[in-house]
Structure 1
Amino acid sequence: MTALPKEALRRGWCPSTLRPMETGDGWLVRLHPPGAQLTPPQLRRIAALAAEHGNGLVEISARANLQIRGVTPASHPMLVERLLAERLVDEHEGDGPQRLTLVSPLAGACRHSGASRSEEPGIHEHSRDRRSAGDSSAPTIGDEVQGLQALGVAAPRNDGQGLIDAAALSAAIEERVRSIAGLPAKHCVIVDDGGRQALDGFACDIRLVAVESGRVVVGLADTIWRGPVSELDAPAIVETVLRGFARARSAAPERIRRLRDLSAAALSGLGGLAETAAPAPRPAPRRAGLFALAGDRFAALVNLPFGRCDAATLDRLGAGVGTQQADIRFSPWRGLAFRNLSHVDAEAMLALANNLGLITRDDDPRLSVQACAGSPACSRAEAPAMADAAKLAEAASDLLAQGATLHVSGCIKSCAHPAAADLTLVGRDGRYDVVLGGTARDKPLATLDLSTLMARLQPGEEIHARLTNAARITGPRG
């Protein structure tokens, strides 16, 4: 392969393996593994390639995509050659989405996802905290579950079984719509199996939500709902909607960029299905920790702080999987799901990740913070968003624990989190525009430097008080 011409490196699109995006620290190469899954050896191989051909930093995006940073014009052809030869990516030509669908990282595997959020910490977090303190006699989850069973007490679990196989439906949709031209690169179809890992918090153009066994309702721009329909019919319905959207967009490409840009009448005309009510909201999902699957197997969900780690950390995670039968899926909470593990292996994976400084608990305050790479990694950023996010997460830990959300953006583009947050900080000439309860494009309350901002987050200050009120409305997770 030859290096891509500079004019091919446009900003504002979604990068891929074949078409990287130029950033402040080199090229960003986004990977789309076949079937959106990897084996442990494949994960280690990608870590090695990131260290060899990039700057050693890897990220997981909010669309659950893995990406390598710091690739150079000279190293990119060699990286692509290895990724394709070893079948680590599944790429197609064109400007449209490389992967259109988003599913839970437990899709197709989760019959019940561990204990309820109110019960599970009493087993998982207590035992891990004792072991991390050096207590080798501390029981594992398996020990404690067996102890409960010996006493005649059922092991804690929930009944949040998925109503459809979202992974299979996602694959069918991807296959069916790949040939549609004219779809924006950021277009998204969420396939929600109706189980415990609700995806209500993620924006999309089309949302499929299972409401009964084998049947889904179809949401268009989250405003118009149709169905319910059989999951077997859903791929054809999605194709019909997207082809209709592509035709409308071709007639007015500057005005129509996403499904939400269509009029209510135009939206209603897509799909040709009967109108129905929106599905009822579900409890917020657990995003990290131990999850029970079918057949006495388990998954360990591990998230990267602000979606980033180094290649060495990724390699250690791949090496730490206790069975080569495990499969790895990527999470929209910027993490990885190590699935098909035994109790012991899942516990060991969570302990390893915890020791590596990764997120293994759903109450970790860093999960309530969204941050982009910031400067100097991004040439457009006006502040070091990711570095500052770690400091801000610590300063605002009490607010985050109460349910407040924080978004730290290096510029107005808001790549990490286009939606509103309780506190949105937007880089401006080394300082931050402060937006309460809005997005990066809303009017700021003030523009502050980091030290002043951190002071204003302390109890007794106005920003702290207003965020406390917002968190009181939202409520803590768990």
Structure 2
Amino acid sequence: MASEQSDRPDAGVVAASRRGACPSLTEPMQTGDGLLVRLRPRHGILSLQQGRALGEAALRFGNGLIEITARGSIQIRGLTSEMIAPLAAALHEAAIEIPKGPAIELPPLHGLFQENANAAALEDLVRQRLTALLDSKKLAAKLSVVIDGGGPFGLSAVPADIRLEAIGPERWLVLINADGHKRLPVAVGNAGEAVDCLEKLLQFLAENGGARWRDIPSDRLHATFPELPESSETIIRATPEAPIGLVQIDGGAIAYGLRARFGQLRAADLIGFIDDISHLGIQSLRPGPGRWLFLVGFAKSDIDIVADAARRHGLSIDADDPSIKMAACAGAGACASGHYHTRALGETMIDRWPGVLDGSLAVHMSGCVKGCAERRAALTFAGVDGGYHVVLSGRASDPPDALIAGGDIESAIERLARLIEAEKQGGETTATCLARLGKKRIVGALRQE
């Protein structure tokens, strides 16, 4: 079977994105700043040269803004329909393979440690055997498949419709409806048997109108899969996420975790960063969940060079950087739907809340109430005509808990900061303090009631 990489991508016709679909080269998504495509290279790996080529493509064909998503995919923004075909051609020219169908997610540091099984090899087997099924429009638009080889930095906290998890040497556990807290085991077997099970699961979903597992009644699920247990199992211990900063990998080399501030990186900065470190022999760039970007395979003695280059080009190397827990969309000036400059508000919060943003509080700055698929956050600011919706423990699209006039937002932020500083108890995080205070007190501070 010829690999997908051997076939030049056909992007001559740009299809309208299905409602709720993940934007791709074949189905880009219309946003306020043009079309958006979401890319996940095979195995989640780019060479340094491919990373530079991706930056050049974003600069040439888009608006020069690159985003790393909460699940570790790469987004290029500001495209027009005429630019999709040349973008696809540029990626093909750089040998950046973007497989069709649902993203298959692997831990960003897979293959670098002793693992139970080879996740990349299983992804290849899945794509080889299930090519047509994975490309089926009958599957749910946002179907998620995770393959975890069992290394020290896995994806147990990342929700997935279907998870293939190595539990021993070449022994794979297949699970469904894994939300990071509970999951339902389906089968255990070798790689071939795991793919057989995955095929059966995908066919069932396709035959049920692109359903997700949460949509399937329990009795119907057990009638089709009688081997399923009656209830989900609880995840007792989640594997740690790969950290920011230095990670020692097998063989003596290192990986280094970086993060684009607010999850955004200008293409010119990515190109400049890569140029500054291109002489260090770095093997690969690997985007990861949590908006991380990992550099893999260079000498520990070169850390200072990498760190200095990162600072110059908008990448954070500080594990205590408050922006790590803050997400911002493109915002006004980059997106026609944006009502305010999201990153500017984020920087204002960092400046005004030095003792409040302690890493416990997830904050989302959304230029509009759409929210662009961002997850729930403890504190969300969504732009609207004349001001801001403030949503507590929710999404930008949720009904607001408070409405703040545009000119009052900085004062409202300062009032909330003073409340937290006054009420925070010994050993308490900002997140637990807000949870204890409750919505009424928080809204009162925001409104000066």
| TM-score strictly above 0.5 | yes
Matching residue of 2:447: none
> How big is the shift at 1:192?
3.1
Q: Which moved more, 1:61-70 or 1:240-249?
A: 61-70
Q: 1:331 aligns with which of 275, 288, 295?
A: 288
Matches within 5 A, 1:453-472: 453-460=412-419, 468=429, 470-471=431-432
Change (3 A) 1:270 1:332: farther
Give, in angstroms, the shift of residue 354 of structure 1. 2.8
Indicate the residue corresponding to 1:184 in structure 2. Answer: 140
SS at match of 1:399: coil
Pairwise CA distance, 1:226: 1.2
* Deviation of 1:304 (Å): 1.0
Q: Please, what is the CA RMSD of the aligned residues?
A: 3.2
Shift of residue 179 of structure 1? 1.6
Q: Aligned residue for 1:22?
A: 30
Preserved CA contact (<8 Å) 1:408 1:424: yes
The question of whether the paired residues in 2 share the 8 Å contact of 1:25 and 1:376 is answered with no
> Contact 1:11–1:21 at 8 Å: present in 2 too?
no
Instruction: Report whether the alignment pairs 1:426 with 2:382.
Output: yes
- Structure 2 distance, partners of 1:259, 1:412, is 28
- Alignment partners' CA distance in 1, 2:49 and 2:201: 39
Aligned to 1:313: 269
Instruction: Give per-residue Cα distances to partners, 1:279-338, cap 9 Å, x unaligned.
Output: 323264243111111111111121111221112211123221444460222112223211
Matches within 5 A, 1:128-139: none
The match for 1:148 is none
State the one-letter code of the partner of 2:237.
P
Picking from 105, 109, 120, the partner of 2:108 is 105
Counterpart position of 2:116? 163
Structure 1 residue ranges, 4+ long, deviating more than 6 angstroms after superposition: none
Taking structure 2 as the reference length, what is the TM-score of the superposition?
Answer: 0.80
Question: By how many angstroms is 1:247 displaced?
Answer: 0.9
- Which one has more relative contact order, counting CA pairs under 8 Å at least 6 apart? 1
In structure 2, which of residues 298, 306, 310 is the aligned counterpart of residue 353 of structure 1? 310
Indicate the SS of the match to 2:380.
strand
Q: Distance in 1 between matches of 2:124 and 2:423?
A: 45
Residue deviations 1:434-466 (CA, integer Å, cap 9, x gap): 222233454432112422431233132599869
Residue matched to 1:60:
68
C-alpha distance in 2, partners of 1:378/1:42?
Answer: 27
Structure 1: gaps (5+ residues): 112-161, 251-255
Query: Which residue of the partner structure matches residue 154 of structure 1?
Result: none
CA distance in 1, matches of 2:77, 2:213: 31
Q: Counterparts in 2 of 1:104-123, with a 5 A limit? A: 104-111=107-114
Q: Measured at CA, do residues 417 and 175 of structure 1 come closer, stay the same or move farther in structure 2, by a change above 3 Å?
A: farther
Measure how far apart 1:106 and its partner are: 0.3
Specify the alignment match of 2:46 in structure 1: 38
The answer to whether the Cα contact below 8 Å between 1:240 and 1:271 also exists between their aligned partners in 2 is no
In the TM superposition, what are the counterparts of 1:72-151 in structure 2 within 5 Å?
72-92=80-100, 96-97=101-102, 99=103, 101-111=104-114
- Range 314-323 or range 327-336, more displaced: 314-323
Work out which of the residue numbers 411, 416, 424 in structure 1 matches 2:368. Answer: 411
* Amino acid in the other structure paired with 1:456: R
CA separation in 2, counterparts of 1:393 and 1:201? 27
* Change beyond 3 A, Cα 1:391–1:295: same
Contact 1:241-1:270 at 8 Å conserved across structures: no
Q: Is residue 254 of structure 2 the alignment partner of residue 266 of structure 1?
A: no
| Aligned position for 1:362 | 319
Paired position in structure 2 for 1:235: 195
How many residues of Structure 1 are paired with residues of Structure 2 in the alignment? 411
Call closer, same or farther: CA 1:452–1:209 in 2, change over 3 Å: farther
Question: What does residue 302 of structure 1 align with?
Answer: 258
The gaps in structure 2 that reach 5 residues or longer are: 1-9, 436-449
Larger deviation, residues 448-457 vs 222-231: 222-231
Task: Give the structure 2 partner of residue 127 of structure 1.
Answer: none
Amino acid at match of 1:265: D
CA pair 273-444 structure 1, distance change in 2 beyond 3 A = same
Question: CA separation in 2, counterparts of 1:51 and 1:463?
Answer: 46
C-alpha distance in 1 between matches for 2:226 and 2:126: 18
- Which residue number corresponds to residue 158 of structure 1? none
Q: How does 1:199-278 map to 2 (within 5 A)?
A: 199-222=155-178, 223-226=182-185, 229-230=188-189, 232=191, 233-249=193-209, 256=211, 258-269=212-223, 273-275=227-229, 277-278=233-234
Distance 1:172 1:473 in 2: 47
